[in-house]
Each structure stands twice: as structure tokens, then as C-alpha cells.
Amino acid sequence: MPPFGIKDIIDIIIVALLLFYIYRLMKESGTINIFYGVMAFIIVWVVASEIFEMRLIGTILNKFMSIGLLILVILFQEQIKRFLVELGSHRRWRFLAKILHHRTDDAEKSVAWVLPVVYACINMSRSKTGALIVIEQSIPLDNYAKSGDIIDSAPNSRLIENIFFKNSPLHDGALIIAHGRLNSAGCILPVSHDSDLPRYMGLRHRSALGIAQATDAVAVVVSEETGNISIAHRGKLTTRLSSTELEHRLNAIATAVEQ
């Protein structure tokens, strides 16, 4: 038996980090139970074929593993795509940019959209105007932006309020903010089927959670029934935020992009 060396330690650390990242990604997307099921199957496969050397069971499980990998790729193509996009994101390799003294022109725009969004949400909350605003992070939202009408405007609270005015043709969809600008409105988002969501939450809240599970975007919701402000991020929905809490959260998210 070969000695346990530094390569084995590095191997274990890499596998542990990979499993943790996959666990976090699937937890955010609401598919954590499937992760537990896959891990349980792999443990049974390793114990049966490697430790106890059960040939028949090992052969059967080997066949399932070869087919199961293809099935998992088909079922979780969106999560795999998100994993690869986040892995190649500029945020993951920012240290290289620092070494090369590379600066992006998004630094000045990083927080420019925060106050217009907060002011608009405050006014829409008072008038109980329903709204759904999505802020792009590292994962591009181009496919969702194409489902709406392109605006390409500087952040403006009055424009945001007019978009979600009840008689506006764009008020039913989502407003997407990308690269510090109002990108498109009337956009269609994926809907979350999370059974833990209360029944009184409508399509806007489910769409906000859906985009937060499918991507790393931030979604702000203003309820048309109650005027309450909610925010969805990293697969979690936080409801009944005050204007101060909303501003604090959005500022923290915006400034984190450049850190």
C-alpha cells in the first residue's frame, strides 16, 4: 500500500471543496434532496464494490453509474451551466486582474442603481404598485432580457415607477438591471415550484425566487396586495423589508461585486 502523502491531502481537499460547492449550489436551487440521494447511492456503490467487493451488486451499480451520469447531466443542465459560468466568472479570478493592474469601467456604476431602485420601491410600496426588479450579477441574464423590451437607460426612479404603473403594458413582467443600467422591461422569468412558499405569494414572488435559484441575480419584489417589499437572492426569499433594510442589502450586494 503506497504511503499517504501530500498529494492525497490535496486530492481530499479538492474533492471536499467540489462537493461543498455542489451542495451549496443545489441547496440554493431547491434540489438538495436529490443531492442527498445521489450521495447515498455513491456511498452504497463504493461500499459494495470497493470495500466488500460484491461483484454482482458492483457490476449492476456500475451500469447504473454510467447511465446515471448522463441522466444527471440532462436533468441538471441549468445547474451545471450555472456552475461553469460561476467558475469562469471574473470574480473568481479577480486576483489575476489585480496582478495585471486591470480595472473595469463598471466600478463607478456599481452602486449607481441602488438609490433609484430604493426610492422607486418606497413609492410603489406606498401606492401598492406591484413590481419585480432583477439585478444581474456574474451570470448573464441575456436570455431573459430578450423576452422583454429593451430600454437601455440610466437608472431613474421615475422611469421605474412608470414601467410598473398599472396601465403600463410592461408592468406585468420583470425589469432587468445589468451593468448599472435599466436593460429591459416586461421580461419573463422562470417560476419557482418551491412547496415551502406560502400560498398567498403570487407569481411575482415565485418568479423572483425562481430567478434567484436559477442564477445569482438579485430580485426585488413589491407586493401589489400588501405593499410589502421582499428580496430574493441565492435561492432565499426575505420578506417585509423596510426601506433602510432594502438599501443596506442592495448596497452590500453592489459593493461586493467590486471587492
Round to the nearest angstrom and report the end-to-end CA distance of the chain. Answer: 46
CA dihedral 182, 185, 189, 191 (to 10 degrees): 110
DSSP, res 167: T
Ranges 19-23, 105-109, 172-176, 206-210: which has the least confidence: 105-109
Q: What is the pTM of this model?
A: 0.68
146 vs 15 pLDDT, higher one: 146
Distance of CA 231 to the CA centre of its chain: 12
Strand pairing class (131-135; 174-178): parallel
d(CA 110, CA 255): 7
CA dihedral 220, 226, 228, 232 (to 10 degrees): -40
CA dihedral 9, 11, 13, 15 (to 10 degrees): -150
pLDDT at residue 108 is higher than 60: no
pLDDT for res 52: 76
Strand pairing class (218-222; 149-153): unpaired
Calculate mean pLDDT across residues 188-206.
85
d(CA 93, CA 96): 6
pLDDT for res 87: 59
Residue located via cell numbers 469562469: 88
pLDDT band at 81 (very low <50, low <70, confident <90, very high): low
Q: For residue 133, which of 167, 90, 106, 163 has the smallest C-alpha distance?
A: 163
pLDDT band at 22 (very low <50, low <70, confident <90, very high): confident
Calculate mean pLDDT across residues 57-81.
70
Calculate mean pLDDT across residues 17-41.
73
Instruction: Write out the DSSP string of 23-57.
Output: HHHHHHTT-HHHHHHHHHHHHHHHIIIIIS--HHH
Which three cell numbers, joined as nine digits, stand for 155?
437608472
pLDDT band at 95 (very low <50, low <70, confident <90, very high): very low
Average per-residue pLDDT for the chain: 81
Quick count: other Cβ atoms within 10 Å of Cβ 148?
19
Longest dimension (CA), the chain: 75
